Amino acid sequence: MHWMVRSAGSFPLYVDSGKGAHFSSIDGHSYIDFCLGDTGAMAGHAPEACVQAVAARAAGGVTFMLPTADAAWVGRELTRRFGLPYWQFALTATDANRFAIRLARHLTGRQKLLVFNYCYHGSVDETFITLQPDGRATPRAGNIGPPVHPAVTTKVVEFNDVAALDAALSEGDVAAVLAEPVMTNIGIIHPLPGFHEQLREITRRTGTLLIIDETHTISAGPGGCTQLEGLQPDMLVVGKPIAGGVPAAAYGFSAAVAQQLQGRIQDDESDTGGIGGTLAGNALSLAAMRATLEHVLTDDAFRHMIELGERFEEGVSAVIRQHNLPWIVKRLGCRVEYWFRPTAPTNGAQAAAAIDVELDRFMHLAALNRGILMTPFHNMALMCPATSAADVDAHTHVFRVCVELLLGLRE
Ligand code: PMP
């Protein structure tokens, strides 16, 4: 994978096998896994219910281009969690975002998308745009082979900048805002009080659809921030962990969007393209989604995971306080990370300015050498249902050791 060239150390670990919150490498070392496949394995590795459901489904056929009964169960469960009544399936959150954007364009007749500076929503072409300090929108550095200049397709404003959002949407040419409810990919950035109400009011007033991407923010609880904060998106995307790591994603619509769509999709043209995919919604994805949502990432499991997230946050905070470091810890439910600046950033540019690649690599590698895998590039930790208090305390100990190494307090 291309991103591995930026990771700490000169080679990646090769995995032998994983179970719960732990895995072993092919050279026989054991690790506590706080990376959990960068959310893809937030259900833990090889949860028993998924293993059984996947084995049973594999024995009964994995893909038919037809729905199975699991589709109806999963649809109802997603409605219970996120509130939206209609759902379609994809194989990745990237694709689910792509399809939601296309449907938003189809419905509104508008071409443009609006995203927040330093967002990440998968490899969606339209989202790789950066806001420069002078207000210009430019291609995001590092994006490989962009098809057109992103300003052709996209507007970008800072997260929490309501005035800029209002001005950009008031021009009436934006099909949809695509947003994480709490930014996670440039570190956790919480919305300021009232931001979501204003985002919803402005999008409604300007006829812009609101797509909320809960792929990472599902760490906040069983129905992500949408359930927790009572958000009312027109469309919602969720992927990564919802099938216990088996490729699967879902995108939901409000009743109003579903109704408009029904009037705008022509039966005889429906096989042309734009959304879908041969394996989307396949029987294996759906069986794994059902097992994960019914038995693994349950409401009870989230209570346990979030409690451990709090424990992780307290442990790291205590070390930061003890050594008076200019760092902070940020948490969103069972997702916790430490950040090398003394105060919480409120937008992507502030967060990006605090990135310290060398320090980040040091902390990541020093932890790895002591049996702890963190998520690379922003030292983020996720708790899964099988994570234990002892796992969290082991991290706190290693974090303290790494800090003391850094400060020259130990060899
Ligand atoms: N949405 C968000 C918020 C993400 O963080 C990511 C990936 N990190 C995606 C979508 C894309 O997920 P995938 O790579 O599984 O397509």
ipTM confidence? 0.99
Neighbouring-strand partners of residue 209:
176
In the numeric block, which tokens belong to residue 53? 């459901």
Angle made by CA atoms 107, 241, 157, in degrees to the nearest 5: 45
pLDDT for res 78: 98
For the CA atoms of 356, 358, 364, 366, what is the dihedral angle to 10 degrees?
-140
**Is any atom of ligand 1 closer than 6 Å to the C-beta of 295?**
no
- Helix, strand, coil percentages, rounded to 5, for the chain: 45, 20, 40
Give me the architecture of the 48-296 domain, per CATH.
3-Layer(aba) Sandwich (3.40)
Comparing 45-54, 188-197, 258-267, 332-341, which segment has the lowest mean pLDDT? 258-267
Residues 339, 327 contacting (CB under 8 angstroms): yes
- The whole-angstrom separation of Cα 216 and Cα 337 is 13
**Is any atom of ligand 1 closer than 6 Å to the C-beta of 92?**
yes
- Residue 158 C-alpha to ligand 1 middle, in angstroms? 20
- Residue 7 C-alpha to ligand 1 middle, in angstroms? 18
Comparing 32-36, 208-212, 376-380, which segment has the lowest mean pLDDT? 376-380
**Is any atom of ligand 1 closer than 6 Å to the C-beta of 240?**
yes
User: What is the mean predicted confidence (pLDDT) over 370-374?
Assistant: 97
Q: What is the pTM (predicted TM-score) of this model? A: 0.98
- The whole-angstrom separation of Cα 38 and Cα 223 is 19
- Over the range 179-197, which residues count as b (16 or more CB within 10 Å of their CB) and which as e? bbbbbbbbbbbbbeeebbe
pLDDT for res 262: 86
- The whole-angstrom separation of Cα 25 and Cα 18 is 9
The secondary structure element, H or E, covering residue 79 is helix 69-82
pLDDT for res 276: 87
pLDDT digits 0-9 by tens, 17-46: 999 999 999 999 999 999 999 999 999 999
Q: Which residue reads 């998308």 in tokens?
A: 113
Best mutation site among 183, 216, 218 for ligand 1 pocket (most ligand atoms within 8 Å of CB): 216
Q: DSSP assignment, residue 41?
A: T
The bridge status of strand 380-382 relative to strand 335-339 is antiparallel
Please report the atom of ligand 1 found closest to the CA of residue 94: 16
Best mutation site among 3, 35, 121 for ligand 1 pocket (most ligand atoms within 8 Å of CB): 121
267 versus 102: the higher-pLDDT residue is 102
pLDDT for res 68: 97
* 378: pLDDT strictly greater than 90: no
CA distance to 65, 241, 248, 276, 289, per residue, from 107 (Å): 26, 29, 25, 17, 29
Please report the atom of ligand 1 found closest to the CA of residue 40: 15
The secondary structure element, H or E, covering residue 249 is strand 249-253
Angle made by CA atoms 111, 112, 118, in degrees to the nearest 5: 155
Residue 230 identity (one-letter amino acid): G
What is the C-alpha end-to-end distance of the chain, expressed in Å? 34
- Residue 198 C-alpha to ligand 1 middle, in angstroms? 25
pLDDT digits 0-9 by tens, 295-332: 999 999 999 999 999 999 999 999 999 999 999 999 99
- Residue 355 C-alpha to ligand 1 middle, in angstroms? 20
User: What is the mean predicted confidence (pLDDT) over 336-364?
Assistant: 94
CATH of domain 2-46+299-406: 3.90.1150.10
Q: Where are the domains of the chain?
A: 2-46+299-406, 48-296
85 φ, ψ (degrees, to nearest 5): -85, -15
pLDDT digits 0-9 by tens, 153-182: 999 999 999 999 999 999 999 999 999 999
32 φ, ψ (degrees, to nearest 5): -90, 125
The bridge status of strand 249-253 relative to strand 235-238 is antiparallel
pLDDT digits 0-9 by tens, 252-294: 999 999 999 887 777 777 777 888 899 999 999 999 999 999 9
- The whole-angstrom separation of Cα 317 and Cα 396 is 10
**Is any atom of ligand 1 closer than 6 Å to the C-beta of 93?**
yes
pLDDT for res 274: 83
